[in-house]
Structures are given as structure tokens and as C-alpha cells.
């Protein structure tokens, strides 16, 4: 199970990277919502990782310097892999969401949330890119595996 989870995290990292590159190459044609969503996608992974590791986290909708996004993506990936390798994925952790409400979930479910959440927002970003006349990034998992 850990190997497949790592594969999914590699997929997430790969297409986040591709999306950042596409936005960067077309930054003059993209809108604020596109930049906001790619930041949110990366911020969310950083936040979930931080909840598991007990570290300080980003704000959900903070806008990071665009030139830092690839590094944030790399750091997120490294931390997620560290979690897979060092933690019992069935362990339940307690955390508070951005509104301060307390929840508890298994680490596996949190990591799957990272993957699913990223996929969802990359789809939204692709729609925005297309509206701006930019070729969307083919981000389907099966394309990654080919």
C-alpha cells in the first residue's frame, strides 16, 4: 500500500510541477484566480503535511512568490514521502482545521486527501487556462503512467 501511495504522490508532484510551468510560461495571459488556485493547491498539501508532522503551516489562501512555487511543490513532496516512510498510515491524528474545529483522521486518509484535492484543483485550473486561450495540461493519471 505504501508503494502505491508513493506513486500517487509522485503523480501529484509531477502534474503540480507541470501546471506551475504552464502557468509560468503564460503568466501574462493567466488571471488572478489561476494563480490563487495553484497557490491554494500547494498550500493545502503543506498544511496537511504540517498537521501530521506538528509543524507551522501556511494560510489556506496565502499567495506565495510565484518563483517559490516549484520549491514549495518539491518540499511538499519530500515531506509527504517522509510521512509515508516514517509513520504508521493507520495511525489517527488529531488536528484543527482553518476554522479551529477539532477533527481526527487516519494518516492514510489525509495523504489521499492531498492527492484528491490537488487533482480537483488542477481540473479547475485547466478550465481557467482554456478560458484564457492556453492549452490545458493533460493531467489524467493514465497519461502519467504511459
Domain boundaries, the chain: 2-145
pTM summary value: 0.96
Q: Give me the mean pLDDT over the 28-46 stretch.
A: 97
Q: What nine digits make up the cell of 43?
A: 498550500
Listed as own residue / partner, the contacts of 77-83 with beta carbons closer than 8 Å and 24 or more positions apart are: 77/9, 77/10, 77/12, 77/13, 79/46, 79/49, 79/53, 80/9, 80/45, 80/49, 80/111, 80/114, 81/6, 81/9, 82/53, 83/49, 83/52, 83/53, 83/107, 83/111
Provide the pLDDT for residue 23.
98
Q: What is the pLDDT of residues 76-121, one digit of tens each?
A: 999 999 999 999 999 999 999 989 999 999 999 999 999 999 999 9
Annotated binding site for a divalent metal cation: 40, 117, 121
Longest dimension (CA), the chain: 45
Provide the pLDDT for residue 108.
98
Residue holding cell 503535511?
49
Average pLDDT, the chain: 97
CATH numeric code, 2-145: 1.20.120.450
Annotated binding site: 40, 117, 121
- CA proximity to 76, closest of 117, 24, 22, 136: 117
Amino acid at each position: 500500500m505504501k508503494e502505491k501511495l508513493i506513486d500517487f504522490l509522485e503523480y501529484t508532484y509531477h502534474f503540480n510541477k507541470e501546471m506551475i510551468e504552464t502557468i509560468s510560461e503564460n503568466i501574462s495571459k493567466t488571471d488572478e484566480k489561476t494563480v490563487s488556485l495553484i497557490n491554494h493547491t500547494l498550500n493545502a498539501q503543506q498544511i496537511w503535511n504540517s498537521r501530521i508532522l506538528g509543524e507551522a503551516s501556511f494560510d489556506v489562501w496565502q499567495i506565495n512568490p510565484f518563483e517559490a512555487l516549484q520549491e514549495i511543490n518539491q518540499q511538499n513532496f519530500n515531506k509527504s514521502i517522509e510521512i509515508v516512510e516514517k509513520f504508521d498510515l493507520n495511525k489517527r491524528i488529531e488536528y484543527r482545521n482553518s476554522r479551529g474545529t477539532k477533527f481526527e483522521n487516519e494518516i492514510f486518509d489525509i495523504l489521499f486527501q492531498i492527492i484528491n484535492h490537488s487533482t480537483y484543483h488542477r481540473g479547475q485550473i485547466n478550465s481557467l487556462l482554456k478560458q484564457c486561450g492556453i492549452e490545458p495540461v493533460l493531467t489524467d493519471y493514465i497519461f502519467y503512467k504511459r
